Structure 1
Amino acid sequence: MPVNGLPPYNSQNIFARILRGEIPARKIYEDEFAFAFHDINPQAPTHVLVIPKGAYCSFADFSATATEAEITGFIRAVGKIARDLGLEAPGYRLLANTGEHSGQEVAHFHIHLFAGRPLGRMIPG
């Protein structure tokens, strides 16, 4: 049954399976709120996926239903990962796709962290 008008979470999506250890991932970071790993099809020299450990299908779902502790813990984890990778001075991009029109491919909320070269404009002007 949809939550807040969103589709139900599918516990068989690839990120849920990674969290359960059913599919290997090149882990970068893990704590009680987040899991980060290298993207298998990187779009930049550094391309990390950061996923919450909770079952949230999108940013809309996460922002509406996650606890304050989960939201705070997840956002702090994203910042820590960027700092630990030494990305603050040269800069980096965070991207979260939500829904079909954005190109979200896995229905588990996740943030892409891109870095390692000048990334240019997001949307051509």
Structure 2
Amino acid sequence: MAAAMNSLYLLRGPICIRAFNFIKSINQTAQIQHNAFIRRPLQFRRVLSSIRATSDEELAASAAAANADSGAPTIFDKIISKEIPCSIVYEDESVLAFRDISPQAPVHVLIIPKQRDGLTQLGKAEKRHEVILGQLLHAAKIVAEKEGISDGFRIVINSGASACQSVYHLHLHVLGGRQMKWPPG
């Protein structure tokens, strides 16, 4: 344990503290040997990279939340208007589905309404949004069929900063192509 802790001093900032606390909690709860991470350097690097990724996602979500209701165009508005290119999987008059640029599964497609209409997050949905919400879910089924994952897929909707929503234009993530784990979060 001491050797692993000494190697952490080479790191800087909150990642160092999070890694230290993670290793400390693992050691206390799982009773692993003091040099487990030294003998498993790949596992240790994965822990550090997941801490860094989690931190980045949380920071992006916090920054996005500050401008959530500003009405400014989002990256998805720019994709809809074709200002930003994307790999379209499905499109109809109401929704657009395209591949995520940072996929978290072999199949990772985002589905968005073409008109935001105040629907920045699921937690702000109103009665008037019922039709588009249904269209988004139906589009998810069509995407799953087109991508060959209709036998098993996951739909994720992040709503708000605490859920790490980083774009305030309601969107669904369709994930599949591998065995999903539970619990997801």
One-letter amino acid of the counterpart of residue 82, structure 1: A
Contact 2:141 2:150 in 1 (8 A): no
- Which structure would you say has the larger Rg? 2
Specify the alignment match of 2:75 in structure 1: 14
Which residue of structure 2 aligns with residue 76 of structure 1? 138
Query: Partner amino acid for 2:100?
Result: D
> How far did residue 71 of structure 1 move?
2.8
1:1-60 per-position Cα deviation (integer Å, ceiling 9, x unaligned)? xxxxxx536342101110111111111010011100000001111111011112121112
Gaps of 5+ in 2: 1-67
Give yes or no for the alignment of 1:32 onto 2:93. yes
Q: How many residues align?
A: 116
More helix as a share of residues? 2
The answer to whether residue 105 in structure 2 is matched with residue 44 in structure 1 is yes
Greater Cα offset, 74-83 or 106-115: 74-83
Structure whose residues are more often strand by fraction: 1
Look up the match of 1:85. 147
Q: Unaligned 5+ residue runs, structure 1?
A: 1-6
The C-alpha deviation readout for 1:70-101, integer Å capped at 9, x for no partner, is 23322211211112222122x11110000000
Is 1:121 aligned with 2:182?
Answer: yes
State the superposition RMSD in angstroms: 1.8
Are residues 123 and 84 of structure 1, via their aligned partners in 2, closer, same or farther at CA, if it must alter by over 3 Å?
closer
Please give the alpha-carbon distance, in whole angstroms, between the structure 2 residues aligned to 1:67 and 1:119: 29
Query: TM-score by structure 2 length?
Result: 0.57
Paired residue secondary structure (2:108): strand
Q: 2:121 aligns with which of 34, 58, 67?
A: 58
> Percent of aligned positions with the same letter in both sequences?
34
What residue number does 1:109 align with? 170
1:122 offset after TM fit, Å?
3.1
CA–CA separation in structure 1 for the residues paired with 2:127 and 2:97: 21
Residue 9 to residue 33, structure 1, CA distance change in 2 (3 Å): farther
Structure 1 Cα separation of the partners of residues 161 and 169 of structure 2: 13
Whole-angstrom distance in 2 between the partners of 1:12 and 1:107 = 10
Does the CA contact (< 8 Å) of 2:88 and 2:99 recur in 1?
A: yes
